[in-house]
Chain A
Amino acid sequence: MENENLIWIFISALLVNNFTLSYFLGLCPFLGVSARLETAFRLGLANIFVMIITAICSYALNTWVLPYAPYLRLISFIIVIASAVQFVEMAVKKLSPELFRALGIFLPLITTNCAILGLALFATNKGYGFVEGLVYALGAGGGVTLALVLLAGIREETRILNIPKLIEGTALNLIIAGILSMAFMGFAGLFSAG
């Protein structure tokens, strides 16, 4: 029963309610950094990384600070998450330079990304506990990565094609994203049928 719930949370965040394709969160990097497959993948990994930190931070804040000062929710989320990410970034730089080289340049980029804050807010609204929050973060991060990689893959293909100048750029990317989003709609109902 409990496990079933966790699987549902994970699948829901990963596919059915994909952060990028159905909540439109994290669109700036989605459209900006998705030109190359490898960059997109690494950005996605960095996203998962920051989201896990976010889940931990927001759980801590929700449990120990915010019951006493609900009006500080937004400010404390932003500031605590940003500082925690910076802190972890320093730690990673020391402990594992390789990992840092892979993710490093993206970390500051995504710290104040809407997907990160969105994760904290949604998890709070849904009243997730610690484990649920972590699973949710994993699912959401995985979903963002999936969307990024898919879009980047398609964009690499479009570069060889002959595309009218008018539609090139953001307009084309948005329409591709729309089609991807439509494809992801097919996942709805997964795990809730039966």
Chain B
Amino acid sequence: MNDKPRSTEEFLKGLWNENPVFVAVLGMCPALAVTNSAINALAMGLATTFVLVFSSLLVSLFRNIIPKQVRITAFIIIIATFVTVVDFLLAAITPVIHKELGAFIALIVVNCLILGRQEAFASKNKVGLALADGLGMSLGFTFALLCIGVIREVLGNGSLFNISLFGDNFEPWVIMILPPGGFFALGFLLLFFNWFIQRRKKQNETKTQEI
């Protein structure tokens, strides 16, 4: 019965407090490699969501059957299966995006975020909780990718989701959609997050002092 508030909690933590990219700094390859436009970032985020949610579901369902000694191998088989499926689906539905993301769809398989969630959470918790956790984490991941993608596309191309924002007078910062831009965007976002967390800590401290 008290499952409900807990699953909400597990869902929310992935979005913000334990955000996989900004706080835990996991899954960096896709976070930087394919975020040169908002639409690519979104596609990557959704593909990862699909894989993470279904892997969590299966791992949690079979958590008592999979022997401990071979669990990592079993997780990898499960994850790789879903990644292959998502690869095929994207190629069938949106060939353009599939071409842009290229090999990076297949590389979802080695995204430490996914294997990490299976090992740390899904293999130890009930299906409902595992689903909530997987969904929260992957939405947090998608949100982070989207943040980076939006910043890079707006600055680097002067557009958002391929809609031009500033007109012809804007000289795009091409560097932002090139590889260095990925490092810079994430670096500054992490900086912002650090600042935000420290500020909140200080606020909490002053609050407790007042009390």
**Touch A–B, Cβ below 8 Å:** yes
How far is A122 from B181 in the complex, measured between Cα atoms in Å? 23
User: Which chain A positions have C-beta within 8 A of B195?
Assistant: 166
User: Shortest CB–CB separation between residue A21 and chain B, in angstroms?
Assistant: 6
Most buried by A among B102, B112, B175, B191: B191
Task: Say if the beta carbon of B83 comes within 8 Å of chain A.
Answer: yes
Q: A117 contacts which of B28, B77, B109 (Cβ < 8 Å)?
A: B109
Task: Say if the beta carbon of A191 comes within 8 Å of chain B.
Answer: no
User: Which chain A positions have C-beta within 8 A of B76?
Assistant: 78-79, 112
Contact A21 B179 (CB under 8 A): yes
Contact A112 B110 (CB under 8 A): yes
Contact A25 B29 (CB under 8 A): yes
Interface residue total, chain A, C-beta cutoff 8 A: 38
User: Which chain A positions have C-beta within 8 A of B25?
Assistant: 31, 170
Known: A31-B28, A79-B73. A174 touches B103 (CB 8 A): no
Contact B110 A177 (CB under 8 A): no
User: Shortest CB–CB separation between residue A47 and chain B, in angstroms?
Assistant: 14
Contact B107 A171 (CB under 8 A): no
How far is A55 from B11 in the complex, measured between Cα atoms in Å? 40
Contact B28 A27 (CB under 8 A): yes
How far is A125 from B99 in the complex, measured between Cα atoms in Å? 12
| One of B53-61, B122-130, B165-173, B182-190 contacting the partner | B182-190
Residue of A nearest to B175 (CB): A182
Task: Say if the beta carbon of A167 comes within 8 Å of chain B.
Answer: yes
Interface residue total, chain B, C-beta cutoff 8 A: 39
User: Which chain A positions have C-beta within 8 A of B182?
Assistant: 24, 178
Contact B191 A24 (CB under 8 A): no
- Per-residue CB proximity of A171-189 to B under 8 Å, as 1/0? 1111101110110010000
Contact A24 B110 (CB under 8 A): no
Contact A125 B194 (CB under 8 A): no
User: Which chain A positions have C-beta within 8 A of B29?
Assistant: 24-27, 114, 118
User: Shortest CB–CB separation between residue A92 and chain B, in angstroms?
Assistant: 22
User: Shortest CB–CB separation between residue A132 and chain B, in angstroms?
Assistant: 17
User: Shortest CB–CB separation between residue A165 and chain B, in angstroms?
Assistant: 8
Interchain Cβ contacts under 8 Å between A and B, 16 examples? A23-B33, A27-B28, A31-B28, A73-B84, A73-B106, A74-B106, A118-B103, A125-B102, A166-B198, A167-B194, A170-B25, A171-B190, A172-B187, A174-B186, A178-B182, A178-B183
> 4 additional contacts, CB 8 Å, given A28-B28, A79-B77, A178-B181?
A21-B179, A71-B88, A121-B106, A177-B183
For the complex of A and B, 10 pairs with smallest distance between CB atoms: A178-B183, A174-B187, A171-B190, A175-B187, A181-B180, A27-B28, A182-B180, A121-B103, A24-B32, A24-B33
A residues touching B (Cβ–Cβ < 8 Å)?
21-28, 31, 71, 73-75, 78-79, 112-114, 117-118, 121-122, 125, 166-167, 169-175, 177-179, 181-182, 185
